[in-house]
Amino acid sequence: MSNVILSKVNKIYGAGRTGVHAVRDLDLTVNDGEFMALLGPSGCGKTSTLRMIVGLEAITSGDIHFGGVRVNDLEPRERNVAMAFETYALYPNFTVEENLAFPLEVRGVPADERRRRARELAELLRITEILTARPPVLSGGQQQRVSLGRALIREPAVFILDEVMSHLDAHLKFQMLFDLKRLHQELRRTMIYVTHDQVEALALADRVAVMSNAALQQVGDRNALYNRPTNMFVADFIGEPPTTFIAVERCDRAGAIELRAIGADIVFDVAAERASALDAHGGRRFTVGIRPQNLYPCDHDPRMAGKVVINEYLGERSILSIVTGDVTLRALVPPETRLAPGDHAGFSLDPRDVMIFDTESGVLVA
Amino acid sequence: MAGEAGFEHRWRHVRLLFLAFLGLWLLFTLFPLYFMAITALKTTAETNLTVPTFWPEVFAFGNFAAVFAEATNFDALVDSFVIASLNTVLSLVLGTLAGYAFARFPRQAGGENLAFWILSNRMFPPVAILVPMFFLFDSTPWGTDSIWSLVILYLVFNLPLATWLMMVFFRDAPPELEEAAYLDGWTPFRAFFRITLPLVLPGMISVAMLCWIFAWNEYLFANLFVGTDVRTYTIVIPTFTHGSQTLWNLQMAFSLIAMIPPVTLFILLRRYMVRGLSLGVVKG
Beta strands in chain A (DSSP E): 4-13, 20-30, 35-39, 61-66, 69-70, 81-84, 158-162, 190-195, 207-212, 215-220, 244-253, 256-261, 267-270, 285-290, 296-297, 304-313, 318-324, 327-333, 344-348, 355-358
Residue B199: list chain A partners with CB under 8 A.
Answer: 92-93
Distance CA A62, CA A74 (A): 14
| b (16+ CB within 10 A) / e for A157-187 | bbbbbbbbbeebeeebbeebbebbeebbeee
- B280 against B183, higher pLDDT: B183
Q: Answer yes or no: is pLDDT of A1 > 70.
A: no
Whether B180 and A91 lie within 8 Å, measured CB to CB: yes
Q: How far is A196 from chain B (nearest CA, A)?
A: 20
Can you tell me the distance from the alpha carbon of B212 to that of B209, in angstroms, rounded to the nearest whole number?
A: 5
Closest Cα to residue B217, out of B127, B149, B131, B154?
A: B154
Are the beta carbons of A85 and B185 separated by less than 8 Å? Answer: no
Mean pLDDT value across residues A43-62 = 92
Q: Residue B3: its pLDDT value, please?
A: 58
Binary contact (A150, B190; C-beta < 8 A): no
Question: What does the pLDDT read at residue A52?
Answer: 94
Q: Mind listing the pLDDT tens digit for each residue in B188-230?
A: 999 999 999 998 998 999 999 999 999 999 999 999 999 889 9
SS3 B254: helix
Chain A: residue whose CA lies nearest to B198: A93
**Residue-level pLDDT at B244:** 87
Which residues on neighbouring strands pair with residue B54, listed in sequence order? none
Cβ neighbours of B190 in A, within 8 Å:
106
Mean pLDDT of A81-108: 90
CA–CA distance, A4 with A340 (Å, rounded to integer):
52
Task: Select from A80, A85, A134, A154 the residue whose CB has the most chain B CBs within 10 Å, as the one to mutate to test that interface.
Answer: A85
Contact A56 B179 (CB under 8 A): yes
- B201 to B5, B84, B178, B196, B269: CA distances (angstroms): 47, 20, 16, 9, 12
Q: Which phi and psi (to 5°) does residue B63 adopt?
A: -55, -40
CB contact under 8 Å between B180 and A77, yes or no, is no
**A280-295 per-position pLDDT tens digit:** 888 889 999 999 999 9
Q: Is the pLDDT of residue B234 over 80?
A: yes
Q: What is the mean pLDDT of residues A1-17?
A: 87
What is the mean pLDDT of the segment spanning B93-111?
91
With CA atoms as reference, the chain B residue closest to A147 would be B180
ipTM above 0.85, yes or no: no
**DSSP secondary structure of A135-148:** GGGS-HHHHHHHHH
Select the residue of A55, A77, A87 nearest B187 (Cβ to Cβ): A77
Q: Confidence band (pLDDT; 50, 70, 90) for B281?
A: very low
For the residues B120-147, what does the mean pLDDT come to? 91
Q: Compute how many other C-beta atoms are within 10 angstroms of the C-beta atom of residue B113.
A: 8
Q: Which of A89, A93, A107 sits opposite B180 (nearest CB)?
A: A89
Nearest CA-CA distance, residue B280 and chain A, Å: 17
- In this predicted structure, what is the pLDDT of residue B2? 53
* Confidence at residue B283, expressed as pLDDT on a 0 to 100 scale: 38
Contact by Cβ (8 Å): B130, B221: yes
DSSP letter assigned to residue B241? B
Contact B183 A107 (CB under 8 A): no
Most B CBs within 10 A among A99, A106, A107, hence the mutation to make, goes to A106
Q: Given B174, B181, B182, which is nearest A87 (Cβ)?
A: B174
Cis peptide before B56 (omega within 30 of 0): no
| A188 touches B: beta carbon within 8 Å | no
Average pLDDT over residues A322-339: 88
Q: Say what the pLDDT of residue B216 is.
A: 96
Mean pLDDT of chain A: 89
Interface test with B, best of A91, A114, A161, A164 (most B CBs within 10 A): A91
Q: Identity (one letter) of the amino acid at B4? A: E
Task: Tell me what pLDDT residue A35 has.
Answer: 93
pLDDT tens-place string over residues A243-279: 999 999 998 887 788 899 998 888 888 887 788 888 8
Least-confidence region, from A210-219, A271-280, B227-236? A271-280
Sequence-ordered alpha helix ranges (H) in chain B? 2-40, 44-47, 63-66, 72-104, 111-120, 130-138, 147-153, 155-172, 175-183, 188-191, 197-217, 220-225, 233-236, 248-279
Best to test chain A binding among B105, B182, B183 (most A CBs inside 10 Å): B183
C-alpha–C-alpha distance, residues B111 and B103, integer Å: 9
Q: Domain A4-230: give its CATH code.
A: 3.40.50.300
Q: Are B66 and B58 in contact (CB under 8 A)?
A: no
State how far the Cα of B49 lies from the Cα of B60, in Å rounded to an integer: 16
Q: Do A85 and B180 touch (CB under 8 A)?
A: yes
The three-class DSSP label of residue A253 is strand
pLDDT at B284: 35
More confident residue, A68 or B87: B87
- Residues in chain B within 8 Å Cβ distance of A107: 185
| pLDDT higher than 80, residue B120 | yes
pLDDT reported for residue B282:
41
Nearest Cα residue to B183 out of A107, A68, A209? A107
How many Å apart are CA A275 and CA A273, to the nearest integer? Answer: 6
| Contact: A89, B177; criterion CB under 8 Å | yes
Q: Cβ atoms within 10 A of the Cβ of B232, count?
A: 30
DSSP lists the bridge partners of residue A13 as A20
Q: Mean of the pLDDT values across residues B137-166?
A: 93
- A318 bridge partner residues: A313, A333
Chain A contact set for B181 (CB, 8 A): 91, 102
Distances (CA, A) of B118 to B22, B54, B97, B98, B215: 36, 47, 14, 10, 19
A37 touches chain B (CB under 8 A): no
Contact A91 B174 (CB under 8 A): no
pLDDT given for residue B5 in this prediction: 65
Spell A318-346 as b/e; 16+ CB within 10 A means b: bbbbbebeebebbbbbeeebebeeeeebb
The alpha helices in chain A, defined as continuous H runs, are 46-54, 96-105, 111-124, 140-152, 170-187, 198-204, 222-227, 232-237, 272-281
Residues of B with CB under 8 A from a CB of A: 174, 176-177, 179-187, 190, 195, 198-199
Best residue in B172, B179, B184 for a mutation probing chain A (most A CBs within 10 Å): B184
CB A248 within 8 A of CB A286: yes
- CA A55/CA A38 separation, integer angstroms: 17
Does A150 contact B184 at a Cβ distance shorter than 8 Å? yes
Q: Say which range, A92-106, A265-279, B10-24, B136-150, has the weakest mean pLDDT.
A: A265-279
Distance CA A44, CA A62 (A): 18
User: Domain ranges in chain A?
Assistant: 4-230, 244-358
- Span B9-25, pLDDT tens digits: 788 889 999 999 999 99
Say yes or no to pLDDT of B36 above 70. Answer: yes
CATH 2.40.50.140 fits A244-358, yes or no: yes
Q: Is A76 on the interface with B (CB under 8 A)?
A: yes
Per-residue pLDDT at B98 exceeds 80: yes
Residue of chain A whose Cα is closest to the Cα of B176: A89
Query: Given a cut of 90, is residue B93 above it in pLDDT?
Result: yes
Per the CB < 8 A criterion, the answer to whether A327 and A292 are in contact is no
Q: Which residues contact A41 (CB under 8 A, 6 or more apart)?
A: A196, A212, A237
Distance CA A357, CA A341 (A): 31
